[in-house]
Structure 1
Amino acid sequence: MARSRGGDRITPKKGGARGRATRDRQVYIYTEGEVTEPEYIDIIVRKGVWGRPDRKVQHHISNENAESKYRKPYRMVQEAVRTRIKAEREARSAGLRPYEVLPDGTEEGDWNWPQVWVVFDRDDHLSIPEAMSLADDEGIHVAYSHPCFELWRLLHYTNYTSTFGGVCGDANSRLRSRPGFAATYGPGVQRVSEQESKHLREDQVLSEDGHRYESARKYAKKINEYHSSRNPNAWDPYTNVWCLVEQGLLLGGY
């Protein structure tokens, strides 16, 4: 599958309005994690299947080289807004129209209108509600996990509905203890450190029949239904990474 990495540089695609129906959707992604989330995205885009063969995506990790201090949720949303403005300006010059899915399921505009996503966790951040509010106001898509992205990885192995008490280390520990997890790092490997586990392996998320992804999405949707609070700090556990997979990257599975 075609993929693109690095920077938030936005380069107009040749062909202008004449090629707007066939051009790929440009998706710009800001990730809080420097390793796990980019590796996950690379794996699923390379190995996944398009939801529709006639609709393709080029993804860009927009903050690939950013320092940790610039990877806070609110700061990333602010950066994402600037990227969205640039991307939409280029899209309009290419003849694209803003895209929207109406409540009845019908589509308006061009499906390949660019999108900007921010991927972040609850962790111990203090500005989650503010970051979510700004993203909603500015048309930035959010993939949010509580307590952290390891929950989404864990759901590829098993269902989990209990609270983590906001402790990401608990989610990571449960992930590392899953049968077969350590073996994905090499023959004979029986134990993996928390630091080592940040590097994601294909066999942790992929399966020949797509069962792991389908199960993870089903489990995630179910646990998300239990949250009635409007405060995302209280959504423990929660993850909507599958929205990035399907609505942003336009994958049908992996």
Structure 2
Amino acid sequence: MARPRGGDSVSRKKGGAKGRESRARQVYVYTEGEVTEPEYIDIIVRNGTWAEPGRTVQHHIANPNAEGKHRKPLRMVQDAVVTLRKVEREAKDAGLRQGKDWNWPQVWVLFDRDDHQGIPEALRLAEKEGVRVAYSHPCFELWRLLHYTNYTSTFGGVCGDANSKLRTRPGFAATYGRGVRTVTEQQSKHVREGQVLTPAAEDGLSRYRTARKHAQKINGGHSSPHPHAWDPYTDVWRFVECGLLLSGY
């Protein structure tokens, strides 16, 4: 099984090409949420399956104590660019080669549509500077909801609606304890293993495979070039597979 976290930087290892090949990829993640996304990431890395044997990731939440103004999409991308340049220098010092070594470090930003301004600018800056983005519209709760059911209707950009639908899914409240029948929106920010792991979903696939299938179908239905119009939308699965190198959980 995959395991989370690790050292805070890439340090030089002896062993030449063999040493480079065995080194874990360092992935730094900026999250809009202080609780939900970090808890989700910890759960899936702890319980997930590496896509390729010998290729592992050490992930780091890059902004655990950031204030609200530093959790806006554009500001997070700007901060992520600084972090990316730093870890790229460390990787070069350690002998890694950009574009050649699979474990070249990555920096990701996970953010939502909500009512944020500057999302197109944030996406353009990220693409220009090499920062990776996982974007959800209206919010990360859509990705969590898709682990339970398909949902293709618009939310009108209201995250509370997505959260409400998530909290009313059969079995969701029970993940917080035996006999629990309802949870508040605040309580639901805390992710539980039973919400994303087995048992298998209704179509026989794992909850992750179900969510990924639903998300890709939803995303494929958008024709507008403007990310504000992608309601609903989420590509968190790209972060799971391309960033964390997991084949599932």
Compute the displacement of 1:198 (Å): 0.2
2:248 maps to which residue? 253
Distance in 2 (alpha carbons) for counterparts of 1:198 and 1:3: 20
**Contact 1:5–1:61, Cα closer than 8 Å, also in 2:** no
Whole-angstrom distance in 1 between the partners of 2:46 and 2:188: 21
Q: How does 1:58-97 map to 2 (within 5 A)?
A: 58-97=58-97
* Deviation larger for 90-99 or 57-66: 90-99
Alignment pair present for 1:138 and 2:129? yes
- Work out the number of aligned pairs and report it: 243
For residues 207 and 67 of structure 1, the distance between their equivalents in structure 2, rounded to whole angstroms, comes to 35
Match of 2:230 among 228, 232, 235: 235
User: Equivalent residue for 1:2?
Assistant: 3
Amino acid in structure 1 at the alignment position of 2:133: V
Farther off after superposition, 204-213 or 127-136:
204-213
Q: How does the TM-score come out when normalised to structure 1?
A: 0.92
Which consecutive residues of structure 2, in runs of 5 or more, have no partner in the other structure?
none
Q: Counterpart of 1:130 in structure 2: which amino acid?
A: E
Offset at residue 14 of structure 1 (A): 3.4
Distance 2:153 2:14 in 1: 52
Per-residue CA deviation, residues 156-215 of structure 1 (Å, 9 max, x unaligned), is 000000100000000000000000000000011111000000000000000156610000
Distance 1:20 1:44, change over 3 A: same
Root-mean-square deviation (CA), in Å?
A: 1.4
CA distance in 2, matches of 1:159, 1:34: 26
Q: How does 1:1-254 map to 2 (within 5 A)?
A: 1-4=2-5, 9-15=8-14, 17=16, 19-99=19-99, 109-207=100-198, 211-254=206-249
TM-score for the superposition, normalised by structure 2: 0.94
> 1:16 touches 1:95 (CA, 8 Å); kept in 2?
no
- CA offsets per residue over residues 24-58 of structure 1, 9 Å max, x none? 00000000000000000000000001001110000
Distance 1:252 1:30 in 2: 22
Q: Is the 8 A contact 1:16 1:93 kept in 2?
A: no
Whole-angstrom distance in 2 between the partners of 1:59 and 1:170: 31
Structure 1 stretch displaced more, 194-203 or 15-24: 15-24
Q: The residue matched to 2:197 in structure 1 has which SS?
A: coil
Percent identity, please: 69
Runs of 4+ residues deviating >2 angstroms: 13-18
Secondary structure in 2 matching 1:84: helix
Tell me the secondary structure at the aligned position of residue 59 of structure 1: strand
